[in-house]
Amino acid sequence: MSRHTIRLAADAAGITEAAALLRAGQLVAFPTETVYGLGADATDEAAVAAIYAAKTRPSFNPLIAHYATAAAAFDDVTPTALGERLAAAFWPGPLTLVLPRRPRAAVARLAGAGLDTQAVRVPAHEVARQLLVAVGRAVAAPSANPSGRVSPTTAQHVLDGLDGRIAAVLDSGPCPVGVESTVIDLAAGPPCLLRPGGVPLEAIVALLGPIGRGITPAAAERTRNLRSPGLMVSHYAPALPVRLHAQSAEPNEAMLAFGPIPGHPDAVFQLSLDEDLVEAAARLFDGLRRLDAEGARLGLGGIAVAPIPETGLGLAINDRLQRAAAPR
Ligand code: TXA
Ligand code: MG
């Protein structure tokens, strides 16, 4: 653990320094098009273990390995025909594929939490790409937030949660997509959506036809924990309770709006006045954080969230909001 977290500019010098820290086994948060990732050299077991410690994850929930190219990813996992089609269509981009791990994989087993599968992704963000090229190895990265908290979409969000616990954060401003990658499991029979995310489900279905929905290890853990409330983990959670499908705010509530709203609540965050789901996704996590802080300052009792359509990025937005609203 580092005492002081350096904020590095996302220029050539900053990227070189970030890559050197990663190669030396340190933790570095970096931007992707979805959210900031908490990176470690994926081939270094101790560095990967340090990710779990920094996030205080309750158990070893498997991590995504990030690569500069699809070819590099497919050195560590067997692509399968569907994996090759999805990679050709959506990489680089906000799509994660869960695939069988190759026996010769360079990625540490702990990165996949000891499973026979490994989640892999080639991010589209130019800074992430340059960093991955400079590191020259896979980089394991969950979202760069303490476990159970809202994912970070700015370097300041990262520092709010992890300052002093990681070596550095590479700062390139807000993440353009704003919700995490879409996760598709191709390792267990027919393709299966594990997590809606930055690639809309409609785009996947247009390529593959209808696909089923599964459950991520993280979600399985939550379900288990529902039966032992003391251990329950709610993910993407702000501190204030969240009320979904709200047409308006009660007097003691802050409001996360999507389009025009009635009245004048004391604290409002507008996701998109034009009801544009892409804009709303990019602003979602910042909005939750701001309302949480503002609500605490004003002594409000909760956050009311306007209804959001279940199409395009709305599926991912609603998934995250449902987690934020889950009992804890
Ligand atoms: O956009 C993103 O995906 C960001 C950026 C940094 O790339 N990363 C991210 O990582 O959101 P994380 O760890 O917060 O979420 C990874 C998700 C978890 O739900 C995890 O359970 C699932 O992917 N996952 C990872 N490896 C898996 C595996 N082998 N089998 C099934 N699910 C897996
Ligand atoms: Mg996460």
Counting every residue, how long is the chain?
328
189, 190, 216, 263, 289 from 294: Cα distances, Å:
46, 45, 32, 18, 9
Band the pLDDT of 231: cuts 50, 70, 90: very low
Name the residue at shortest CA distance from atom 31 of ligand 1.
Answer: 216
Closest residue by Cα to residue 132 from 92, 164, 88, 78: 92
Band the pLDDT of 221: cuts 50, 70, 90: low
Cis-peptide into 92, omega within 30 deg: yes
Nearest ligand to the C-alpha atom of residue 34: 1
Closest residue by Cα to residue 283 from 253, 313, 310: 313
Q: For residue 176, is pLDDT > 60?
A: yes
Hey, which of 95, 153, 180 would you mutate to test ligand 1's pocket, going by the most ligand atoms within 8 Å of its Cβ?
180
- Give domain limits for the chain: 6-223, 242-324
Q: For residue 44, is pLDDT > 60?
A: yes
Architecture of the domain defined by 6-223: Alpha-Beta Complex (3.90)
| Amino acid letter for position 315 | L
Q: How far apart are CA 3 and CA 215, in angstroms?
A: 37
Which contiguous run of DSSP H or E holds residue 64?
strand 64-66
Sheet holding 139-140, edge to edge: 6-9, 168-171, 28-30, 37-41, 139-140, 64-66, 117-121, 95-100, 182-185, 192-195, 212-213
Residues 6+ apart with CB under 8 A from 39: 22, 27, 28, 29, 30, 66, 131, 139, 140, 141
Residue with tokens 């869960």: 98
Q: For residue 55, is pLDDT > 70?
A: yes
* Cα 100 to ligand 1 centre (Å): 15
Q: How far apart are CA 73 and CA 121, in angstroms?
A: 7
Band the pLDDT of 218: cuts 50, 70, 90: low
* Cα 261 to ligand 2 centre (Å): 30
* Cα 251 to ligand 2 centre (Å): 32
Task: Give residue ranges with CB within 6 A of ligand 1.
Answer: 32, 34-35, 37, 61-64, 94, 96, 98, 112, 115, 117-119, 121, 141-143, 180-181, 183, 185, 194-195, 216-218
| Amino acid letter for position 267 | A
By the CB criterion, residues less than 5 angstroms from ion ligand 2 are: 143
CATH superfamily of 242-324: Threonylcarbamoyl-AMP synthase, C-terminal domain (3.40.50.11030)
Q: How far apart are CA 261 and CA 270, in angstroms?
A: 9
Hey, which of 36, 63, 78, 139 would you mutate to test ligand 1's pocket, going by the most ligand atoms within 8 Å of its Cβ?
63
Residues 6+ apart with CB under 8 A from 230: none
| Amino acid letter for position 176 | P
Q: How far apart are CA 123 and CA 72, in angstroms?
A: 13
Pairing of strands 37-41, 28-30: antiparallel
Chain segment 233-242, per-residue pLDDT in tens: 455 678 899 9
> How much of the chain, in percent, has pLDDT values that exceed 90?
83
Chain segment 88-146, per-residue pLDDT in tens: 999 999 999 999 999 999 999 999 988 999 999 999 999 999 999 999 999 999 999 99
The pLDDT value given to residue 318: 96
The pLDDT value given to residue 181: 98
Average pLDDT over residues 5-29: 98
Average pLDDT over residues 294-314: 96
Q: How far apart are CA 225 and CA 208, in angstroms?
A: 34
64, 220, 273, 276 from 283: Cα distances, Å:
23, 28, 12, 11
Average pLDDT over residues 183-202: 95
Residue 66 Cα: closest atom of ligand 1: 7
The pLDDT value given to residue 62: 92
DSSP β-bridge partners for residue 11:
none
The pLDDT value given to residue 73: 98
Nearest ligand to the C-alpha atom of residue 39: 1
Q: For residue 173, is pLDDT > 70?
A: yes
Sign of CA dihedral 47, 49, 53, 57: positive
* Cα 143 to ligand 1 centre (Å): 8
Identical fold, 6-223 and 242-324: no
The pLDDT value given to residue 246: 97
Q: How far apart are CA 149 and CA 71, in angstroms?
A: 33
